[in-house]
Amino acid sequence: MEAKDRIIVALDVDSLDKALKLVEELNPYVGLFKVGLELLTSEGSPKVVQTIQEAGGKIFYDGKFKDIPNTVAGAARAVTRLDVQMFNVHCLGGSAMMKAAQQAAEEISKTQGTSCPLILGVTILTSLDYGDLVELGIYDELNIADPEELVQVKRDRIERLAIKHLAWLAQENGLAGAISSPQEIRAIRNYCQPEFLVVTPGVRPKWAAVGDQKRVMTPGEAIKAGVDYLVIGRPITKPPEEISSPVEAAKLIAEEIAAAI
């Protein structure tokens, strides 16, 4: 895999025209394009996928499926028929659901003679903190007086849930990999099989604005930690003024990845 192939550009735009413009410009310089719920819902999934494919783009379909196994299997069949390269499901949908998605994708890709999409498990959304997990009934409030210890125990528990339970379950149910925050890359690498893929958003080159991302890593740091693919949106689609264009931003990131491999 070339360095540029590890870059997944997040097409967080509200119209297919804007998405297509970015695909036409960036396709020679990156690996895949991530299409998510806003674009898919506003423009219609098959239309979005086919338009990007006609422009030569490969697709990460960020649909984050989570429902009963039968329903998710149906969605997995539908998205595999669209011949996307990657899609994702929530690990919290459970083992039977993950297995059903994997089986359905394998069946359809075999029938149509295409490669099976890589299915990635979403562990714990990085927008959730320990308090949210307590509210959801997953953990109890902690009664720890030392503030430093409290922070550490909360962090350990979230990591245990995300990696030792959910990423592990994704692997055991045959999924190709997991989406993780940059901070979890090393732990997944240590805990899961070497071929289990790690795909990470929250990546910021030194020259890019951090924006609303909280815990970021540079592309080079993420590669050294063992990531396989980087999901990058605004640093490429809206680069700072001193980087003249999205293409220039993508090239710089590919160079940084190549230097870190």
Within its chain, how far is the Cα of 12 from the centroid? 13
Residue 248 CA to residue 239 CA, distance in Å, equals 9
Give the number of residues in contact with ligand C5P, rule: CB under 6 A. 14
Report the half-sphere exposure of 43 (CA within 13 A, side-chain side).
Answer: 23
Known catalytic membership, residue 154 = no
Nearer CB in complex with ligand C5P: 235/239: 235
Q: CA 245 to CA 175: how far, in whole Å?
A: 36
* Residue number with the smallest Cβ distance to ligand C5P: 233
Considering only residues 31, 36, 220, 239, which one is a binding residue for ligand C5P as defined by CB under 6 A? 36
Strands 177-179 and 7-10: unpaired
What is the DSSP annotation of 184-203? GHHHHHHHS-TTSEEEE--B
Q: How far apart are the C-alpha atoms of 249 and 10, rounded to whole Å?
A: 14
> What's the min distance (Å) between Cβ of 46 and ligand C5P?
21
Q: Which stretch, 103-111, 151-159, 220-228, 233-241, contacts ligand C5P (CB under 6 A)?
A: 233-241
Q: Considering the complex, state which of residue 10 and residue 32 has its C-beta at the smaller distance from ligand C5P.
A: 10
Could you tell me which of 182, 138, 127 has the C-alpha nearest to residue 160?
A: 138
Stretch that binds ligand C5P, among 18-26, 107-115, 184-192, 229-237 (CB under 6 A): 229-237
- Position among 3, 10, 79, 91 found at the interface with ligand C5P (CB under 6 A): 10
Which one of 84-92, 138-146, 227-235, 242-250 is the stretch in contact with ligand C5P (CB under 6 A)? 227-235
- The answer to whether 232 contacts ligand C5P (rule: CB under 6 A) is yes
Judged by CB under 6 A, does residue 75 bind ligand C5P?
no
> Which candidate, 3, 39, 6, places its Cα nearest to that of 22?
39
Task: Note whether 65 and 88 are within 8 A (CB).
Answer: yes
Q: Binding to ligand C5P by residue 117, rule CB under 6 A?
A: no
Residue 126 binds to ligand C5P (criterion: CB under 6 A): yes
Of 73 and 228, nearer to ligand C5P (C-beta) is 228
Structure tokens at 75: 């969605």
Q: Is 233 in the site for ligand C5P (CB under 6 A)?
A: yes
Question: Is residue 199 within the footprint of ligand C5P (CB under 6 A)?
Answer: no
DSSP 8-state class, residue 141: P
State yes or no: residue 201 binds ligand C5P (CB under 6 A).
yes
Distance from C-alpha of 20 to C-alpha of 249, rounded to nearest angstrom: 18
Of the residues 18, 34, 58, 64, only one is catalytic, namely 64
Closest of 78, 87, 57, 75 to residue 179, by C-alpha: 87
Q: What residue ranges bind ligand C5P (CB under 6 A)?
A: 10, 12, 36, 125-126, 201-202, 211, 213, 231-235
Q: Which residues are catalytic?
A: 64
